[in-house]
Each structure stands twice: as structure tokens, then as C-alpha cells.
Amino acid sequence: MNIRFDNAGVDYGKRTALYPLSLTLQERRIGIIGLNGSGKTTFARLINGLVKPTTGSVTVNGVDTVTDAAKVLGTVGYIFQSPQNQIILPIVRDDIAFGLKARGYDKAQIEAAVESVLGRFGVSHLAARRAHELSGGELQMAALCSVLVTGPDILILDEPTNQLDLKNRALVQKTIAGLPESVIVISHDLPLLEDFERVLLFDQGRLVADAAAAEAIARYRELAA
């Protein structure tokens, strides 16, 4: 994985959500922390092209997120802060299949891939359930399956343990630890990021720390005090 920010910044009208910054991300586990409204989601959305930089550019494995947006979307999987917002079809199995249909897979290939991804995360029992009836943790797992089934190289999780109980939190943590993909996690759940190689701390739209987890988390605690 090679994500490059080259003087990339984001303004929403007159408000600057992210001041221009330049950096390269290559680590397999990257955390993003900071107070509410500090620019974390904006930063992450630049990576898959959901947000376009107002200044500068962002590339993923050399591909520009603006001029080659479709290619970037195929490389970067993104699980939203509220996963219910990304469920498209009512039944879990159909929702997971949706992204594969769009990629031109045939019926047998789709069925095999859906069963395989559900099995990989131990949630085959959710296949026939209605997505809107799932619990928060079940929904988080279903959203993970829907995104990973398409085979992204990089996965971005925006507050994946938000509102989860201890058991589901542990399940999501274990799942993240076992993923072969590169993972970028935005979280207010600091212990989740404790063993991450690199953690970025944002404050009021500025990157104020870029360090190993322990150091960045300590800086965050000072800032929030």
C-alpha cells in the first residue's frame, strides 16, 4: 500500500475541514484519532475519493483519486461511521452480492464468494436476515463482508466499535487483527489502536501528531484534558 497526500486540503465553503498536508502512508495498521469535528472522516474520505481535495492531490498506489476515481474505489474499501447508511438491499446475502453483480460476476461465482466471505467471519447464520433488523455488531460484521467480498487492498473503518458491546467489540478487534489487507481505523476507542504501527492525531483540521500508537495517544490525552 502506498497512499500519498501532496499538499492536500479540504474546505467546505468557507470552513476549512482539513488544512493542506503532505505525507505517505505505507504501514499495514494505521490509526486516526482526534476530537469530534477535527477532520478525521474528511481525511479518510480523501483516500477513497469520496471527498475531493480542494487543494493538492491524493494518490493510492500511484492512482489519482480525482482523475481515476473508479479505480481507487476498487482498491479502497470503506466502512462508514454509520454502516446502516451503506446497506443497499434488504437481505444480507443480497447486499453482499450487490457489489459483485456490478463487477459482472455470474450467479455461481457470486454465491460462492458470498458464502466464502460469510464463513471467513463466522457469520453465515446472518445470510438470510434482514439487514435493518440486525444488532449493531451484526450489522458491523455484515458491512465488513459486503466490502471485503469485492477484494479491496486497503480497508478503511470509520469508528468500527462505536456502540458495540464487549463481545462484539472483541470480535471486531480480532477480525481487524486477522485481516491480510492494509487497514486504516478511525476510532475514539483508543485501546483498539494500541498496537498499531502508526497513529495520526488531528486537531481542528490540522495533523498535530504522527507517531507510534503510545506517543500519539498520550498527546491526544494531553490535548483533550
Ligand X SMILES: Nc1ncnc2c1ncn2[C@@H]1O[C@H](COP(=O)(O)OP(=O)(O)OP(=O)(O)O)[C@@H](O)[C@H]1O
Contacts with Mg ion, residue ranges (CB under 5 A): 41
In degrees and rounded to multiples of 5, residue 49 shows phi and psi of 85, 5
Least distance from C-beta 124 to Mg ion, angstroms? 31
Least distance from C-beta 204 to ligand X, angstroms? 9
By a kind-dependent CB cut-off of 5 to 8 A, residue 16 interacts, out of Mg ion, ligand X, none, with none
By a kind-dependent CB cut-off of 5 to 8 A, residue 75 interacts, out of Mg ion, ligand X, none, with none
Between 49 and 99, whose beta carbon lies closer to ligand X?
A: 49
Least distance from C-beta 111 to Mg ion, angstroms? 35
Residues whose CB is less than 8 angstroms from the CB of residue 26 and which lie 6 or more positions away in sequence, other chains included: 1, 2, 3
Least distance from C-beta 100 to ligand X, angstroms? 30
DSSP 192: G
User: What does the angle CA 16 – CA 52 – CA 89 come to, to the nearest 5 degrees?
Assistant: 115
Least distance from C-beta 220 to ligand X, angstroms? 12
Between 41 and 168, whose beta carbon lies closer to ligand X?
A: 41
End-to-end Cα, the chain, rounded Å: 35
DSSP 59: E
Least distance from C-beta 125 to ligand X, angstroms? 31
The number of beta carbons lying within 10 Å of the beta carbon of residue 62 is 8
Per CB under 6 A, contacts with ligand X among 161-220 are none
Q: Which residues pair with 209 in a beta bridge?
A: 201
Residue 214 has, within 13 A of its CA and on its CB side, a CA count of 1
Asked if 197 contacts 212 with a C-beta cutoff of 8 angstroms, the reply is: yes
Between 96 and 185, whose beta carbon lies closer to Mg ion?
A: 185
Alpha helices in the chain, H assignment, sequence order: 40-47, 69-75, 92-102, 107-120, 136-148, 166-178, 213-224
Asked if 154 contacts 181 with a C-beta cutoff of 8 angstroms, the reply is: yes
Between 38 and 150, whose beta carbon lies closer to ligand X?
A: 38
Antiparallel, parallel or unpaired: β 15-25 and 182-186: unpaired
Between 43 and 121, whose beta carbon lies closer to ligand X?
A: 43
Site for ligand X contains 143 (CB under 6 A): no
Per CB under 6 A, contacts with ligand X among 28-87 are 34, 36-42, 81
By a kind-dependent CB cut-off of 5 to 8 A, residue 37 interacts, out of Mg ion, ligand X, none, with ligand X
Q: Residues in the site for ligand X, rule: CB under 6 A?
A: 12, 15, 17, 34, 36-42, 81
